[in-house]
Amino acid sequence: MSDAQQAIVIGGGIVGICCALYLQRENWQVTLIDPAEPGDSTAKWSCGQIAVSEVIPLSKPGILKKIPGWLLDQTGPLALRPKVLPAILPWFLRFIACARQHRIREIAKALASLTHHIYDDYAPLLDACEDKKLLGERPVIELFGQEKDLIHERAFFALRKELGFKVEELNETAIAELEPALAGKLKYAVLLPEWRAVADTEGFIAALTTSFIAKGGKRILGKVNALEEKNGKASAVLLASGEQLPADTLVLAAGNGSKAFFRQLGINKVPLAAIGGYQAVLPDPQVEIRHSIIYADGGFCFTPMTRGLQIGGTIEFAGNNAQPNFNRAQIILDKAKKLLPQLNTEPVEFGVGWRPFLPDTKPIIDKSPRLDNVLLAFGHGQLGLALGATTGRLIAELALAKTPSQDLTPFRATRF
């Protein structure tokens, strides 16, 4: 391997490890750098869904009408810390601009061009892992509290179907058959037959990391302080420890941490925002939940995992380097308990994942406009787990100077 191309991937979350694995498959010698242990990343604190048809941007009209009320109600699905309002306002204006019908269709079509490849792109990575049950086999269910909420969503279901995805409406009897714990509680739902959930978000990333290391990859527990450059290219990274590591190619996949390098990479106008998503894990829920379940009206999601029942939801705009407000996680837990009073909520573990969101809900998959051997893979928002492998494949294609298999124009860094 001494003559192999040297690549450094900054960021060891789901996107970073998938980029590292795909570069490794192309015979690159890859070093992965992250300040946290494998699996201890933003995706750990997610609902764990492989959201194949989650292509409608968050700024769809129905959401916009609800935001003012949510902001006034601190128990609602969305919260904003007042002190961050001036800083986040430009982001929100861009976000709202994406709510026009033509923009919704444009964004959905672009995201669908990636999500159609999710399982094919994950297949070789998962096949190489020792654990063959990292990905669940059951589809995902989305619940609706009232018929009007289901009716509102039908236009978006139609767009998903137009883009080649499946959505099946369920009646009260079907809901009870799929999820006996919900029998008699809700009348309206849809089945998302192409979606799956991972067995454990932390374990999923850790298993991919183990596979990467077993094949000769190197993972460094550390922080990158700076990029060294020479002749218009990044030549090395400087670690906080003082160590300097040379590389032929760099991949920036550090989520919100990517912002530290924006100015040097010539992308300082990218409006990346850290948005908190809170989770509660119940190791012994004493209620059987068979599927990963979205209950948007309730503001939470259930996902059964090997480490317990994970209950996630709520969005919080808290600003950079904010401390978690775990009252948000308690709110989720209280709402879940209202739906399922028999839930055993002791013990409980709270967590938060700071999702790297761009206002158009699309990630950046591109080359740096300033240092052309630096590849960019961040801003996946709530689609990091879903798009990790597809992003990894596309980054490897860029590293090899191939024409990408999908049109990456919608995901360029300079679109802002």
Residues 378-394 pLDDT 10s: 999 999 999 999 999 99
Q: Reduced to 3 states, what is the DSSP secondary structure of residue 242?
A: coil
Considering the four listed CATH numbers 3.30.360.10, 3.50.50.60, 3.30.310.50, 1.25.60.10, the one that applies to the domain covering 6-43+203-271+362-415 is 3.50.50.60
To 10 degrees, what angle do helices 384-399 and 101-115 make? 70
Q: What is the distance, to the nearest Å, from the Cα of residue 165 to the centroid of all Cα atoms in its chain?
A: 20
* Number of residues that this document lists for the chain: 416
Q: Tell which phi-psi region holds residue 361, choosing left (phi > 0), alpha (psi between -120 and 50) or beta.
A: left
State the Cα–Cα distance between residues 156 and 93, nearest whole angstrom: 22
Token pair for 175: 């809901």
Q: Reduced to 3 states, what is the DSSP secondary structure of residue 202?
A: helix
Residue with tokens 């009348």: 187
Average pLDDT over every residue of 124-130: 98
State the Cα–Cα distance between residues 369 and 322, nearest whole angstrom: 30
- Kindly tell me the burial class for residue 1, based on how many C-beta atoms sit within 10 Å of its own C-beta (0-12, 13-18, 19 or more): exposed
- Does the structural domain 55-112+137-195+272-357 have CATH classification 3.30.9.10? yes
Chain-wide mean pLDDT for the chain?
94
Average pLDDT over every residue of 285-300: 93
The answer to whether 232 touches 339, Cβ cutoff 8 Å, is no
Could you give the dihedral angle defined by the CA atoms of residues 218, 221, 222 and 228, in that order, rounded to the nearest 10 degrees?
Answer: 0
Percent of the chain with pLDDT over 90: 87
The whole model's pTM is what?
Answer: 0.96
Q: Is 1's pLDDT higher than 50? A: no
Reported as a pLDDT band with limits 50, 70 and 90, residue 75 is confident
Token pair for 154: 């039908």
Q: Of all helices (H) and strands (E), which one includes residue 183?
A: none
pLDDT in tens, 299-353: 899 999 999 999 998 788 888 788 999 999 999 999 999 999 999 999 999 999 9
What pLDDT, on a 0 to 100 scale, did the predictor assign at position 315? 81
Reference 235, options 226, 220, 256; nearest CA is: 226
Q: Reduced to 3 states, what is the DSSP secondary structure of residue 22?
A: helix
Strand pairing class (233-239; 244-246):
antiparallel
Q: Of all helices (H) and strands (E), which one includes residue 373?
A: none
Domain coordinates in residue numbering, the chain: 6-43+203-271+362-415, 55-112+137-195+272-357
Strand pairing class (233-239; 300-305):
unpaired
List the helix and strand counts (H, then E) for the chain: 11, 20
State the Cα–Cα distance between residues 99 and 303, nearest whole angstrom: 29
What pLDDT, on a 0 to 100 scale, did the predictor assign at position 70? 65
Q: Reduced to 3 states, what is the DSSP secondary structure of residue 184?
A: coil
CA angle 137, 141, 146 (to 5 degrees): 175
Residue with tokens 């795909």: 22
The answer to whether 208 touches 20, Cβ cutoff 8 Å, is no
What pLDDT, on a 0 to 100 scale, did the predictor assign at position 64? 66
Listing DSSP states for 71-124 in one string gives: HH-TTSSEEE-GGGHHHHHHHHHHHHHTTSHHHHHHHHHHHHHHHTTHHHHHHH
Q: Of all helices (H) and strands (E), which one includes residue 279?
A: strand 273-282
Q: Reduced to 3 states, what is the DSSP secondary structure of residue 256?
A: helix
CB-based contacts of 387: which residues, under 8 Å, 6+ apart?
A: 15, 114, 115, 118, 363, 380
